[in-house]
Structure 1
Amino acid sequence: MTLYHATSTEHAENILENGIDIFAGRSNLDFGEGFYVTNDMTQAQDWIKSRFEGSGEILIFQVDDDVFDNYSGKSFNGNTKGWRDYVFNNRNGFSSLLEHYDYVEGPYLANPFSKAYPRDYKAKGHQVAIKNTNLANEIFLGYFGMYSIRADSQ
């Protein structure tokens, strides 16, 4: 399976030099603190274009299809009440009330800056939050390469 991580050039260099730090990102994201990847290259490209002033790196990881099998995870399929509640609690600082997993998978919140109530949340795409250091290390071992996007070449 191929996983993509979209990030700034500076953060990409740090990951390649020091490995994946699951605590490096913000904690108030959809699935809380973790290292976020997607299985959708186009989504990763769009993420770069909408952030980092349109320039950044996509780290590419090739991992075995069963890489998640030995870890506890939670998967959300679409815009369900469970997904909306989980995202709401993480984005509003209530992650300590949630069950903890080694990874969480599902759509991302497409309208994070609206003051929408959870019932108005829009789900889009695919993301996996890696929340376990051992799992992050397994993914890092699958580093395959890096794809650069530059604002001036778009």
Structure 2
Amino acid sequence: MIPDKDTCMVYHATNLFHANIIQYKGIRLDVQRQLTDFGKGFYVTFNLVQAKKWARIRAAYPQISPEILNQLGISKVQYFNHPDTKVPAYIAYALNLKQLRQLKGKAFPLPHETDWPDYQQSWKSFVQDCRKGKQHHYEYVYGPVGGGHLTNPNEVKASDTKDQLSLNTPKATRCLLKLQVVVLKSEEETSKKSKIKQLYNHVRSLKNARNNENLFLLEIRDELMKIGNLTYQQAGKILQSSSVALQFDSTLMHEPPAYWAFSILYGTHKLWHKEYERYITGKGR
């Protein structure tokens, strides 16, 4: 649940390039993604560990709104080649909860809380609607992160450990105070023995058809075939050589398989978020 206090710390995961823009230009709600769990908004979490994991993913697979690049007067090539784009960072804020509670909001309990069973279905329906582009009229929404984003929307389920707070209006974002940008240090190099063990475990997981990671990768392969008009063999080969498969992290499962298919196909060659959302809503098919 949202902490019962007047202020607390929250975190927004991103890369250093985005963090600097937010620090000096402010938050732009109009350029945020639409088809997310709680709709178009600026997302923060109370969970610092979660923010750090997402920061590394956002830096490894960078994207940005073309409108921001136009505002800055730089090209997509300059963005992708900028040294700050690949640097993971998060923004720490002091959140004025007293001010936030005065706004029109919606809060779901987390799965480990006793009243979760009463809200589970309504959370699921709310997330499904938001992912389809249906708009809501709340100024903020809080609840668990959607996990297992398989292409079948009925597969949506709540994460047991990850939370998110979507600030959907300027009034809500003004509840964020005392911004601080924190750059993440490089992860310690894994020993040779650990790398071999990781590779062995990865191969085992790929051979296990019942493994969630493997099933998710198979969903990505199917999306690669549809989006890229590829054969089964072509899609499988591209997937196997991608960083999504080679450096798989369960955190990736909080974006739909189609999202990672677009990432694999277009990577840092184009800005594909809008094309991805058209595809999801059926307009791009």
Aligned to 1:68: 100
Question: Pairwise mapping of residues 79-98 of structure 1 onto structure 2 (< 5 A)?
Answer: 80-93=120-133, 95-96=134-135
More strand by share: 1
CA RMSD of aligned residues (A): 1.8
Aligned to 2:181: 146
Are 2:91 and 1:59 aligned?
yes
Unaligned 5+ segments in structure 2 are: 1-7, 61-85, 112-119, 189-285
Aligned to 1:7: 14
Are 2:10 and 1:32 aligned?
no
Aligned to 2:138: 101
CA drift of 1:10 comes to 1.5
**Deviations for 1:67-104, whole angstroms, at most 9, x for unmatched residues?**
312101001124611111111111122x13xx410000
After TM superposition, the structure 1 stretch with the greater mean CA deviation from structure 2, 2-11 or 74-83, is: 74-83
Structure 1-normalised TM-score?
0.85
Aligned to 2:211: none
Alpha-carbon distance in 2 for matches of 1:137, 1:65: 11
Question: Does the 8 Å CA contact 1:19/1:137 hold for their aligned counterparts?
Answer: no
Which gives a bigger RCO, structure 1 or 2 (Cα 8 Å, sep 6+)?
A: 1
More helix by share: 2
Letter in 2 for 1:67: Q
CA drift of 1:107 comes to 0.5
After TM superposition, the structure 1 stretch with the greater mean CA deviation from structure 2, 30-39 or 103-112, is: 103-112
Q: Secondary structure at the match of 1:105?
A: strand
Aligned to 1:123: 158
Q: Secondary structure at the match of 2:93?
A: strand
Alpha-carbon distance in 2 for matches of 1:18, 1:55: 19
**Deviations for 1:3-57, whole angstroms, at most 9, x for unmatched residues?**
1000122111110011112222110000000000000000101112333217421
Question: Does the 8 Å CA contact 2:124/2:157 hold for their aligned counterparts?
Answer: no
Alpha-carbon distance in 1 for matches of 2:99, 2:53: 26
Alpha-carbon distance in 1 for matches of 2:148, 2:57: 13
Alpha-carbon distance in 2 for matches of 1:36, 1:52: 16
Equivalent of 2:48, from 33, 41, 52? Answer: 41
Alpha-carbon distance in 1 for matches of 2:57, 2:181: 19
Identical residues among aligned pairs (%): 27
- Label 1:64 to 1:78 Cα distance change in 2 as closer, same or farther (>3 A): closer
Are 2:27 and 1:20 aligned?
yes
Question: Does the 8 Å CA contact 1:20/1:137 hold for their aligned counterparts?
Answer: no
CA drift of 1:117 comes to 3.5
